[in-house]
Amino acid sequence: MQMDKTRLLITALDDDADERAYWLSQSPQKRLLALEQMRQIIYGYDTFTTRLQRVLTITERT
């Protein structure tokens, strides 16, 4: 994923009103996509770990 630098706006860190208004104006789908993008930036994206892990246990019968 790449950042769209044409829509970048720099504001003060203590100015929360504009940011809140922006996110409230977005659809829930766009908010979730942005959240997923931030998660991938922070934690990384590995295609091998996207599947559920299977756990195999061996038990002995008496």
* Whether residue 53 has pLDDT greater than 90: no
User: In angstroms, rounded to a whole number, what is the distance separating the alpha carbons of residues 10 and 8?
Assistant: 7
* Whether residue 15 has pLDDT greater than 70: yes
Predicted local distance difference test score (pLDDT) of residue 54: 74
Predicted local distance difference test score (pLDDT) of residue 30: 95
8 residue type, one letter:
L
* Whether residue 28 has pLDDT greater than 90: yes
Q: What mean pLDDT do residues 28-52 have?
A: 82
> Domains of the chain: which residue ranges?
14-62
* Whether residue 5 has pLDDT greater than 70: yes
pTM: 0.50
The 3-state secondary structure of the chain reads CCCCHHHCCCCCCCCCHHHHHHHHHCCHHHHHHHHHHHHHHHHCCCHHHCCCCCCCCCCCCC
